[in-house]
Amino acid sequence: MKLKLIGYALVIFQLTYQSVSGQFAYGADVSWLSQMEYYGWIFKDNQGNERDCLDILKSKGFNALRFRVWVNPTKNFNNKRDVTYMAQRAKNKGFDVMIDFHFSDYWADPGKQTKPAAWASHSFPQLLEDVYNHVYDVLDTLKSVGVIPKWVQIGNETNDGMLWEDGRASKNMANFAALINKGYDAVKAIDNSIKVIVQLSNGYDNNLYRWMFLELQRYGAKWDIVGMSAYPTYHPQNPSWSLFNTWVYNNMQSVATMFSTKVMICETGYPYNHPAEAKNFLADLIAQTKAVGGLGVFYWEPQCYNWENYSLGALDPITKQPTIALDAFLEANPVSVKENEIISDYKLDIYPNPFNATTIISWKQPQSNHVSLKIYDSLGREVSTLINEYKTAGIHKLNWITNNLPSGIYFCRIISQQHSETKKIVLMK
Is residue 111 over pLDDT 70? yes
pLDDT tens, 14-62?
Answer: 333 333 334 799 999 999 999 999 999 999 999 999 999 999 999 999 9
Q: Which CATH superfamily is domain 25-332 in?
A: Glycosidases (3.20.20.80)
Is residue 352 over pLDDT 60? yes
Peptide bond into 352 cis (omega under 30): yes
Q: Which pLDDT score is estimated for 429?
A: 76
* Domain boundaries of the chain, sorted by first residue: 25-332, 339-427
More confident residue, 232 or 370: 232
The CATH number of domain 339-427 is 3.60.70.12? no
Q: Which pLDDT score is estimated for 391?
A: 81
Task: Kindly write down the DSSP assignment for every residue of 64-130, as one continuous string.
Answer: EEEEEE-SS-SSSSSSHHHHHHHHHHHHHTT-EEEEEE--SSS--BTTB-PPPGGGTT--HHHHHHH
Is residue 274 over pLDDT 80? yes
Q: Which pLDDT score is estimated for 417?
A: 64
Q: Which pLDDT score is estimated for 39?
A: 97
Q: Are 79 and 69 in contact (CB under 8 A)?
A: yes
CA distance 314 to 389: 26
CA distance 47 to 293: 35
Q: Which pLDDT score is estimated for 23?
A: 79
Q: 72 pLDDT band (50/70/90 cuts)?
A: very high
Is residue 11 over pLDDT 60? no
CA distance 232 to 282: 11
- Residue 226 phi/psi, 5° resolution? -95, 120
Is residue 206 over pLDDT 60? yes
pTM, full prediction:
0.77
DSSP helix/strand/coil, 364: strand
* Helix 206-218 × helix 241-259 angle, to 10°: 20
Q: Which pLDDT score is estimated for 193?
A: 97
Is residue 2 over pLDDT 70? no
Lowest-confidence segment of 126-135, 163-172, 328-337 by average pLDDT: 328-337
More confident residue, 347 or 268: 268
- For residue 214, what are the contacts with CB-CB under 8 A and spacing of at least 6? none
Is residue 1 over pLDDT 90? no
CA 27 to chain centre: 2
